[in-house]
Amino acid sequence: MADLEDLYREIILDHYRSPRNRGELPAPPAQRVEGFNPLCGDEIVLTLLIDDGRVSDIKIAGTGCSISQSSASLMSAAVKGKSLDEVRQLIGTFKSMMSIHEATLADEADGAPVEPEPVDVRSLGELAALQGVVKFPVRIKCATLSWNTLVQALNEAEPQLA
Amino acid sequence: MALNEMTGALDTELVRKDFPLLARSVHDRPIVYLDSAASSLQPSAVLRAMEEYYEAHHANVHRGVYATAEEATNLYEGARVDVGRFIGAPDPGREVIFTKNATEAINLVARTWGATNLGAGDVVVLSEMEHHANIVPWLMLAESTGIELRYLPVDIDGRLDLTGLDAALDGAKLLSVTAMSNVLGTINPVGLLAERAHAAGALILVDGAQSVPHVTVDVRALDIDFLAFSAHKMLGPTGIGVLWSRANILEDLPPFLGGGGMILDVRLDRFLAAEPPQRFEAGTPPIAEAVGLGAAVRYLEATGMERIRAHELALSRYTLESLAERLGEDCVVFGPPAGEDRGGVFSLAFRDVHAHDLAQVLDQFAVCVRPGHHCAKPLMRKLGVSATARASLGLYNDRHDVDVLIEGLAEAGRLFA
Ligand SMILES: Cc1ncc(COP(=O)(O)O)c(C=O)c1O
C-alpha cells in the first residue's frame, strides 16, 4: 500500500485527528464564508478576522474527509498571523502544487511527459505533506476546498477594508 | 442460461462470465464491483446487440422506407414491447416512453402532467428517502406554480413511517415515491401506497430506478399510474430511460419537448401533436440504447427476476451477518435488517473514518464503492451524516466480493486507528 501511505502521511493524519483552529469566530466582526464540495457533500465554514492587513484569527468548522479537513487545518495554521500579501502568495504556491499534476496528466495523454515547473515546496512547510494528493486526482478537490473558501473570504473582505 | 442444473438457482460463477468488465484487474487485483446502485455492468449479450445494430441495421427510425430503416424501426419498437412485457404494461406500444434516464422521466411527468393538473396550493406527497431526481423537479414546480409538497417521514429503521399516510394524502393530487431507497435499500410497500393514494383521489408515481433491476415490478399488479426507471442500472446502456404510464393518462397530456418525431402536422402558426408515446419522444431517439435495453430485459427475463431476487437476498443476509460478525460495532449499516423489504444496498459508516477515505482505501483492494450523499441530501441530514460509503449488489456479486470489502474496511481501520 505504498501509494496510500503517500496520500495519508503522518502530518495529514495528525491534523485530521487533532484539527487546529477548530470552531467559528463571531461574525461580524469576522468574515464568514461557507464552501461546499457538491460531489461528496463536504461542507466547510470558514471565519476570518483581518486586522491591520493581517489574518489575526481564523477558524474552521464543518465536516469532510481526512484530506479536506487536514488541508483546512494546515491552511489555518499557515495563514494565521500572516499579512494578506503573504497569504495570497501562499495560496498561489499551494494551488500550483495541486495543479502541477493536472498539467502532467495532460502532457502524458499526449504521450510526451514534460517536466513541470517546479514549485518551491519548502516555502510551504508542513503543507508540503499534501503533495501526495496530486497522485489521486479525484482528491485534489478535497484538498483545495478550504483554500477556495479562503480566497472567497478574502475577496469578500478586502473591499470592506479599503 | 446461468443456472445451477441441480437446484435451478443462479450460478454466479456462470453469470460472472457474461460480464466482460469483471475480467478486469485494478491495482493488480481482480475488480470487485459493488456499485450497481449507481450503475450496473452490462452482459456481453447487451454489448453484442448494440454492436450488431450499428454494424448491420443502423438508420434513423420512423421515416425511411429502405430495408435497414425498417429494421432499425422494428428493433426500436421491439425494445418498447420487451420493456412493456417486463413491467407488465397492458399496452406497451402506447404506454412505454423512452427518455434519457429516470430523471428525465420524472421531469416529464412534472412538466406535462404536473403543469396541466396542478396549481397553487395543490399537494404532492413525496418521502424523505427520495433521490434528488424525485425532489428537485417538484421543487421547481413549486417555485413556478406554488404547489405544496408534503413528505412522508423515515423512521429509525430506515422504513417509511406510514402512520400519517392518510393525513398526508388528504387532498393530495399525487404521491411520488421510490420503490426502493438508493441509500437504505428499503423496499417500500408500493401496492399499499397505490391503494391508499387512489382512495384519497391521488395518482401515484413510482421511482423504479432501484427496484426494477432487482425485484419483479408489475405495473398492473401494483396498480400504479407512472413508473420511471433507467436502463443503465438494469444491465443496459447509459443514455436511455423509461417512463411508463396508463394510455388514458398519457392521451390527455401536452407534449414535453418539441421537435421532429412528436408531431402529426406543423404549420407556421401551430402544430398538432402526435399520439403517445411519440408525443413525448422529440428528436432522434437513443436507438442503439433501446436495442441494448431490450437485450438487457431479455437477459433479466431469461435469468428470472425471482432467482435474481433470491440470490441478492441471500447475499444481503451474508453481507449484513459478515459485517456484524467481523467488524462488530465499528461498522454501522443504515437501513432495515435483511429481509423481504430490503434490497442489496448498504450505506456504511465505519468508526469515524470518512466515507471518502474508506472508498479510497477500498480502491486499493479494487473494491468499487461509492462515497458521498448519493443524491439524497435530505435523507442524509435526517440520518445525521454528511456522507456514507455505499456498497451495492448485483446478480453477479458473490460472497468473495463481500469478503474483500470487509478485508478493505479492516485495513482502513488499521490506517486510521
Ligand atoms: C432512486 C433513484 N431515483 C432516480 C435515480 C436517477 O437515475 P438517473 O441518474 O439514471 O436518471 C437514481 C439513480 O441514482 C436513483 O437511485
The dihedral sign for the CA sequence A127, A133, A135, A137: negative
What would the mean pLDDT of B161-177 be, rounded to a whole number? 97
- Chain B: closest CA distance from residue A65 (Å): 5
Q: pLDDT at position A158, please?
A: 79
Distance CA B290, CA B306 (A): 24
B210 lines ligand 1 (CB under 6 A): yes
Instruction: Spell out which residues of chain B touch residue A67, defining contact as CB-CB under 8 Å.
Output: 356-357
Instruction: Spell out which residues of chain B touch residue A136, defining contact as CB-CB under 8 Å.
Output: 360
Could you tell me which residues are beta bridge partners of residue A35? A44
B131 lines ligand 1 (CB under 6 A): yes
Positions of B marked active-site: 375
B373 vs A41: CB contact, 8 Å cut-off? yes
Q: Domain boundaries in chain A?
A: 2-161
Q: pLDDT at position A11, please?
A: 87
Report which DSSP code applies to A133. G
Decide if B63 contacts B69 (C-beta within 8 A): yes
Q: Quick check: B44 contacting A, CB < 8 Å?
A: no
Q: pLDDT at position A128, please?
A: 83
Provide the 3-class DSSP secondary structure of residue B79.
helix
Q: pLDDT at position A112, please?
A: 47
Distance CA B207, CA B77 (A): 23
How much of chain B, in percent, has pLDDT values that exceed 70?
100
A4 vs B371: CB contact, 8 Å cut-off? no
What would the mean pLDDT of B186-198 be, rounded to a whole number? 98
Question: Which of these, B235, B108, B380, lies nearest to A41 by C-alpha position?
Answer: B380
Q: Quick check: A93 contacting B, CB < 8 Å?
A: no
Give the distance (Å) from ligand 1 centre to CA of residue B169: 24
Distance CA A133, CA A65 (A): 13
Backbone angles phi, psi at B10, to 5 degrees: -65, 135
Structure confidence by residue, pLDDT tens digits, B76-85: 999 999 999 9
Decide if B276 contacts B98 (C-beta within 8 A): no
B234 confidence band (pLDDT: 50, 70, 90): very high
Q: Quick check: A72 contacting B, CB < 8 Å?
A: no
Q: Where are the alpha helices (DSSP H) in B112-257?
A: 115-117, 136-145, 165-169, 190-199, 219-222, 247-251
Report which DSSP code applies to B239. T
B392 lines ligand 1 (CB under 6 A): no
Q: Quick check: B378 contacting A, CB < 8 Å?
A: no
Q: Quick check: A7 contacting B, CB < 8 Å?
A: yes
Instruction: Spell out which residues of chain B touch residue A64, defining contact as CB-CB under 8 Å.
Output: 354, 356, 386
CA distances from B412 to A13, A140, B273, B405 (A): 13, 20, 57, 11
Q: Which three cell numbers stand for residue A107?
A: 502532457
Could you tell me which residues are beta bridge partners of residue B25? B30
Decide if B268 contacts B244 (C-beta within 8 A): no
Decide if B244 contacts B87 (C-beta within 8 A): yes
| ipTM over cut 0.85 | no
Q: pLDDT at position B387, please?
A: 87
Strands B241-245 and B226-230: antiparallel
Question: Which of these, B144, B145, B162, lies nearest to B154 by C-alpha position?
Answer: B162
Q: Cα-atom radius of gyration of chain B, to the nearest Å?
A: 22
B62 confidence band (pLDDT: 50, 70, 90): confident
Q: Which three cell numbers stand for residue B234?
A: 438494469
Distance CA A67, CA B354 (A): 10
B18-27, Cβ contacts within 8 angstroms, sequence gap of 24 or more: B18/B43, B18/B44, B18/B45, B18/B299, B18/B396, B19/B43, B19/B44, B19/B396, B20/B44, B20/B47, B22/B396, B25/B366, B26/B363, B26/B366, B27/B363, B27/B364, B27/B365, B27/B366
Q: pLDDT at position A12, please?
A: 86
pLDDT in tens, chain A (162 residues): 557 888 888 888 888 889 999 999 998 888 899 998 877 678 899 999 998 899 999 999 998 899 999 999 999 999 999 999 999 988 988 888 887 544 444 444 444 444 455 667 677 888 888 888 888 888 888 899 999 999 999 898 877 766
CA distances from B256 to B111, B113, B138, B239, B378 (A): 7, 10, 16, 18, 28
B416 vs A67: CB contact, 8 Å cut-off? no
**Ligand 1 pocket check: which of B375, B380, B392 to mutate, most ligand atoms within 8 Å of Cβ?**
B375
A154 versus B33: the higher-pLDDT residue is B33
Decide if A68 contacts B357 (C-beta within 8 A): no
B128 lines ligand 1 (CB under 6 A): no
Q: pLDDT at position A109, please?
A: 45
How much of chain B, in percent, has pLDDT values that exceed 90?
91
Q: Reduced to 3 DSSP states, what percent helix, strand and coil does chain A have, rounded to the nearest 5?
A: 60, 20, 25
The residues near A82 (Cβ < 8 Å, ≥ 6 apart) are A54, A55, A90
A139 vs B372: CB contact, 8 Å cut-off? no
Domains and CATH numbers, chain B: 12-30+305-415 (3.90.1150.10), 47-302 (3.40.640.10)
Question: Which of these, B109, B337, B325, B315, lies nearest to B207 by C-alpha position?
Answer: B109
Q: Is the pLDDT of residue B21 over 90?
A: yes
Question: Which of these, B45, B41, B108, lies nearest to B397 by C-alpha position?
Answer: B41
Q: pLDDT at position A129, please?
A: 84
Q: Taking all residues of chain B, what is their mean pLDDT, rounded to a whole number?
A: 95
Q: Cβ-count burial of B195 within 10 angstroms (0-12 exposed, 13-18 middle, 19+ buried)?
A: middle
CATH class of A2-161: alpha beta
Compare CB distances from B356 to A13, A43, A142 and report the shortest one's residue: A142
Q: Quick check: B285 contacting A, CB < 8 Å?
A: no
